[in-house]
C-alpha cells in the first residue's frame, strides 16, 4: 500500500515568480456539510468476494504544518451505530455484541501521536491510538496528501487519504468469520476546510 506524499507544484511555481504562495498550513475541520469524505472498510467473505461498508457519521479535524509536516496531527470520532454495509439485517448484526457492540461503545476514535515522512518525501505514516469497542491500540495510517487550495466559496481546503489494516481480535471482536476474514482494511478519505 505504497502512498505518495505529494509536493505542490503550484506553490513552487508561485514562489519562483516572486508571488507568496499559500503553503496550506493551518487547522482544518472535516467538511461534514459537503459529503466529500468517507470512512470505509472491506473484509473478505469466505475468500470468494469482498464485503464493503462505511460509517456514515463521523467528525474530526487535522492540522498541517508545512515547515515541519511531522508536527501535523489528526483526530477522528466515528459514531459506530452509523455502520452501513448496504444490508439492514447485516448492519443490525454488526451493531450487536458480536461485532461493534454499539450500545456499550457508541464511538470509535483515532488520535495521532506522530507523523513520519521518508527522506524522499514519498511516504507518510500517521501513527496514533485507535480506540474501538473499548480497546485502544496503536495503529499506523499510510497517508497520501491529495491536494489543497482555494475553493469556489472563499474558503481553503485540503484533502488526504489514508489506509490501514486491523485484526478483529485485537479489538475484542468475538465473532469468528473464518481464517480468511480475520483482517479488515480501513480506507479514510478526508476533505477539510481551514478554520
Q: What letter would DSSP give residue 144?
A: E
pLDDT of residue 66: 81
Nearest partner of 80 among 98, 94, 61, 60, judged by Cα: 94
Residue range 107-137, pLDDT digits in tens: 999 999 999 887 765 578 999 999 999 999 9
At residue 34, the pLDDT reads 62
pLDDT at 118: 72
- Rounded Cα–Cα distance for residues 55 and 73 (Å): 22
Q: Compute the distance between CA of residue 50 and CA of residue 44 in angstroms, rounded to an integer.
A: 5
Reduce the secondary structure of 16-71 to three states and give it as a string. Answer: HCCCCCCCCCEEEEECCCCCCCEEEEEEEECCCEEEEEEECCEEEEEEECCCCHHH
pTM of the model: 0.86
Cα 9 from chain centroid (whole Å): 25
Write out residues in the chain with pLDDT < 70, as ranges: 1-21, 34, 120-122
Please state the separation of Cα 172 from the chain's center in Å: 21
pLDDT of residue 3: 42
Q: Is residue 2 part of a domain?
A: no
Tell me, yes or no, whether 3 lies in a domain: no
Grid cell locating 24: 496550506
* Residue 1 falls inside a structural domain: no
In a domain, residue 178? The reply is yes
C-alpha angle 110/103/166, rounded to 5°? 35
167 occurs within a structural domain: yes
Is residue 116, in this structure, part of any structural domain at all? yes
The total domain count for the chain is: 1
Alpha carbon 57 to chain centroid, angstroms: 13
The residue range of the domain holding 109 is 9-194
| CATH number of the domain residue 52 falls in | 2.40.128.110
Amino acid at each position: 500500500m505504497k502512498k505518495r506524499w505529494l509536493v505542490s507544484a503550484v506553490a513552487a511555481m508561485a514562489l519562483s515568480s516572486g508571488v507568496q504562495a499559500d503553503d496550506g498550513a493551518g487547522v482544518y475541520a472535516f467538511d461534514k456539510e459537503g459529503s466529500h469524505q468517507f470512512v470505509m472498510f472491506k473484509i473478505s467473505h469466505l475468500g470468494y468476494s469482498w464485503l464493503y461498508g462505511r460509517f456514515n457519521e463521523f467528525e474530526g479535524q487535522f492540522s498541517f504544518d508545512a515547515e515541519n509536516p511531522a508536527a501535523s496531527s489528526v483526530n477522528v470520532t466515528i459514531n459506530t451505530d452509523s455502520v452501513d454495509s448496504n444490508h439492514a439485517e447485516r448492519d443490525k448484526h454488526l451493531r450487536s455484541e458480536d461485532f461493534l457492540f454499539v450500545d456499550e461503545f457508541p464511538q470509535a476514535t483515532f488520535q495521532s501521536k506522530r507523523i513520519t515522512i521518508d527522506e524522499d518525501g514519498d511516504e507518510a505514516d500517521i501513527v496514533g491510538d485507535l480506540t474501538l469497542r473499548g480497546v485502544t491500540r496503536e495503529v499506523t495510517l499510510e497517508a497520501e496528501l491529495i491536494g489543497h487550495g482555494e475553493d469556489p466559496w472563499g474558503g481553503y481546503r485540503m484533502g488526504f487519504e489514508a489506509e490501514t489494516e486491523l485484526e478483529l481480535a485485537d479489538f475484542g471482536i468475538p465473532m469468528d468469520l473464518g481464517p480468511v476474514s480475520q483482517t479488515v482494511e480501513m480506507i479514510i478519505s478526508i476533505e477539510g476546510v481551514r478554520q
